[in-house]
Structure 1
Amino acid sequence: MALVVFALLALLSTAAAQQGQVCSAKLDLMLVLDGSGSVGDADFAKTLQFAENVVNAFDIGTDLTRVGVVQYSDNPTMEFNMGDHADKASTIAAVNNIQYQNGGTATGAALEFARANANWRGAPVPKVMIVVTDGKSGDDVTAAAQALAGEGVAVYAIGVGNYDLPELQQIANGNNNNVIELQDYNALTAAIDQIAGQVCIDIDECQSQPCQNGGQCINGDNRYDCQCPAGFTGTNCEFRPTTPAPTCNAPLDLFFVLDGSGSVTGANFDKVKQFTKNVVNAFDISATATRVGVVQYSDSNTLEFNLGDHADKPSTLAAIDSIVYQGGGTTTGSALEFARVNAAWRGGSVPKVMIVVTDGKSTDSVTASANNLAANGVDVYAIGVGNYDGAELLDIAAGNQNNVIELTDFNALNAEIEQIAQTVCVVAQTPNPCLSNPCQNGGQCVSINGGQAYQCRCPTGFVGPNCGTPNYCVNHQCQNGAACVNQPGQNGYTCNCLPGWEGPHCETPSCQNTVSLCGNSPGWPDVGLCSETYVLAACPEFCGTCSCPTNPECKNGGSRGNDPNLYGEDTCDCVCVGSWTGPTCEVCSLSCANGGVVDQGSCTCVCADGWDGPTCSDVCADSSTLCGANPGWPTVESCQVDYVQAACHAFCGVCTPVVVNPPVALGSCQAPVDLVFVIDGSGSVGATEFEKAKTFMKNVVSQFVISAADTKVGVIQYSSTVQEEFSLNAHFTKTAVLNAIDNIVYMGGGTLTGAAITYMKDNSQWRPGVAKIAIVVTDGKSSDDVGPPSSAAQQTGITMHAIGVGANVDQTELSQIASTSQYVTTVADYDALDAQMAQLTASVCDGANDQCELPVLQYQTCVQQALSTCYSQTGAREVSRVRRSADTPITLRRQAEVHVMVSSQGLLAVVAVTVGNVFLAAIAFTFKMKQLTKAKSNGSA
């Protein structure tokens, strides 16, 4: 990419040289310069030299190029604005007076600050911004970059050193030609001629879209030409000398509601005004014929002029011309209500028509306001241009699709004039079907299909075409998702129950109370008591059990169960094992690391050479310094001989046909576990990434057997506050837990990880004698201390796992949170979380099942029987792999004394080898080889 950019720059430098290295174009140029702490004093001085060189590359003047500078770190500063300095000398002096800020990196805030405060000139002067940054921003740049593009600003993104390329592309709004990658700040100053030349050549005179009425703009050298469609003339195709369409002379109140928000831009708002004038030209304007009113809106509403304020066409057109574009946000719902309340509608049979033009989605709801307009007999046309929301347009038009017009851009507006004018004129000339008041019981009549028909909006308690039928479902008592069916002929309703529920109101689970003895006498079991273990055996006899369907069949080892202690909850889902997921356990969700490939048939990883474990995340070669340390000692190659493999692992730890790490059967964790997720919901996570964190939790939960007696799950979300989403005793089935995770709402706010850990320790409903495990997921550094809370939690027996997501995590903090360094996991982003699911689940399962079978000392290597793991006397887990085969050494993180134990058939009881004692180790190995060789020759090996 960088080579391509420099090749392009070399070409552009030739063009710039032909101009004497000075660009004479007329433009507004804003420089946004990174002044964060990672830049440093020396490199910021080079940034200022770059800015000075940019100024020198352009003709500076009030009617030529004007330059402004924003410096930013944690906060942006307007060093000077465009127009503050009228010549090159004063502009350069202002650049040299800039003082380096130091601080963090908030590029998104800087872009928005520059957009909102830049003293841009109007069209057709091009707007250009050059952003220089040396690293990834601490905030999001997307919204600010899109707002700049919406206002016609061409943004160039220059990354220096440790830049983030996807972020540069977002800043430049996906225009890779405007992205420049540089190795260091020396390259920045060296590339000034090329950069200035690229900006000068890239100026698009058509960027402001000056051509009206569908004219096509042709970019030229500091000029543009408009190719006008048939029937239009003028520099900008603004004149239409041809004979206009016949004028509509029907009485009509016509009200325009025009979007004047910042995303429209001044140039496009001029096109909206021209569209409004062209529509007005199609009507006979007078006090007795058509009257026109206009509201402009953004995040405030302005009544530009009301119906009846102008009694003829010339004064109405002049009033439209005088409207000033206001800019701001987009609150279409408020504008509709403002227009409805303030419009000077005529009474009687005069039709009321409103034309709404908008270019984007409203920040408030339009539904209530649109319904009020329909109830008042106003026929609303919704015109969406560019980035409109189709569903919102339909709401504005009160559900009448015929009144919705969708356009790609503002140039297409005027092509719709004759159709809109003709349609509105037909409405004005058609008798209103609502004049006969066809709606009963207070229903509101709405004219639809261009006045050809009507629709009744019924009040609460009535339904039907004319609101004549009582609706008994208004006050229904149907429960548990049952559908109410109105039965007016019987003065009532019925409830259609969902599967698993019964009773008049679907209030009773169909698997409960199937035996009359259930709760028949004090002390007898009832449904509530069936969750207690000491009455489980008797419950089916007295209360009955739930039966599960056999189809569709559970696949890949999955099964359904009839659990008598879970009355009223869905226990008939397929319970999957391993990494199988899906409604019938048909989907393999396993991810393999380090080049491993998923075997879809068995849902296991086939690892590449040098990698091992369920997800190919364990390094398995040359794990001991003794490997090949002396002639005749085993090496990686010699370990391929089958009869020396057993001893080889003590010295080389290589991957061979001997199964060193058999796959962990995820979901087969039989010991009970209390598992609590502590999930970061702070503002830096974002709603989209938080949904991925929820998916990760669900995938982990799917690997365990969830019940009141097995694994129980709780979730705590935290930001500036701590919130328990659900406790360990809230849900006792996998389906209920997964649904509860789905219902979690992202909080946003600060980051108080320490407070969240303390809350988890003190408030979680831990079971005595059950493994307590907490998984903390965070994307940044906490604002409070995590060390003491994490230590306190571990001292109460809670095993702490820490997962850090993204580039802003603090490794020291993660180490403080986790019980051991093995329980620290870092991933690049939330998309990478699921790749750690299998390993994390195995660790959680081990924490519940395993005990060290040998009395080992801290920092020792022990050899154990199959499927066991070791813990040091301090309680810290020192084993790097989760499973071992028989007689396989488990190598600890530090070199230490080695104890080797062979199987019960072994000829060598114990060989103690101190690392570095080559002589004793050689004897041990030689003896072992002889015994194994002898056994092989006797056919016993």
Structure 2
Amino acid sequence: MTSLPWGLVCFVGILASGTLGNAPQPRSSQQVKPTERASAEVPGSDSFQEVQLGDDSVRGFQQQQGARTPYGGGTRSNCRNRPIDLVFIIDSSRSVRRAEFEKAKEFLQDMVDSLEIGSDATRVGLVNYASTVQIEFLLKTYFQKSSLKQALARVEPLASGTMTGMAIKTAMEKAFTAEAGARVSSVNIAKVAIIVTDGRPQDNVEEVAAAARASGIEIYAVGVDRADMMSLRLMASPPHDEHVFYVETYGVIEKLTSKFRETLCGLDPCAQGHSCQHICVNNDYSYYCKCHAGYVLNQDKRTCSHLDTCVEENDCQHVCVKNGNSYLCMCHEGYILNADKKTCSRSDACAHGHDCQHICENSNNSYICKCREGYELNADQKTCSVKKLDDPCSQGHDCQHICVNNGNSYTCKCRVGYVLNMDKKTCSRSDPCAHGHDCQHICVNNDDSYICKCRVGYVLNSDQKTCSRKNLLFSST
């Protein structure tokens, strides 16, 4: 638990004798003049420091290196502390002499003198105990500083045992209640108490102190003279270096007043508990609420709602798109977002990436796909396939005579009486007989064709190709 969280602060003032307690073991001390305390070396959080002030000593668990010493005099000027419910618990067992008890009461009066007292400010109650527990006055009894100090002056010691656990339990169950004047319904009112004891408790304090802290009471413990340090640490709230103090005698207990005044006047209202949904902002000894980025404060001034950042003012040139608690800028079709993430420039659609298999061609604010020669665009308007030609010859050719379809291409041929030249396109007149014939005897060129003849003594048969020997008997007639 951090020091003095709102709603968890409890100063328990226990002035005790504790005749059964053991005095703390002597420890080494540092001699420090009051004017030099700010620069004095400060021990670690678990070390014990003694500061000499005249013939008396004040010791306390100090903060880590660099913490300033809180002890010493100073003016008793009032501070506008955050309103708290403050209960002092005084152990007035018989080991406390009359003069020492008077010093203890002066310490409490000094504490009251330094605070802003009132029904809407700090309220103070007092629990007196020894072997029995007596509530001297409640939080709702006095709202004037003068009457409160007079009531403290009238308190008498009970002069018997040291039932510290019973006193803490009584304070928790009867002094910090709504009936007693505690403002338990408000999370903005801290619960505060101080324990000052010079001995060892005669009952169990560990469990009851833990229950008190868990209920929202933060406990400070001050030991005097023979006080048992282990008991102080069991009672006090952590961290102990901020909640446990020790004074050698009642004669210097008033030196702690400035420490507690500094603590109370330094209360951060936000740290003591608040009702802000998001952010609490300290405002003197009050506070106000704010919201995280992307939210707006509701009319109750406490809760927050999501902000439609695009409805509010934005700096997008084209389109604002809500993005969680913020927004993004986008551009109209055919434009791209510039490096500033706000303005837009007209884009070359093809230059900024496309999915055309062959050729991308800009088209207004977008693009279209085309195919290379010999290919045609598929139905997806992106990929290309080899073009299927029905009659390549009808699409144009360079044959001199005849174009012959050959699937996806063509070949050239020549008319009868001609032969295809080496270029496979042009034709030249040919000798039919030279290029092969079926005449049995003689082939005779006949322009683009040929005719067959027979040698002497033979006649051409009816097939116009073969020859037969003449019948000489009939040839003379």
Q: TM-score, normalised by structure 1?
A: 0.24
Greater relative CO (CA pairs within 8 A, separation 6+): 2
Larger Rg: 2
Structure with greater helix share of residues: 1
Q: TM-score, normalised by structure 2?
A: 0.45
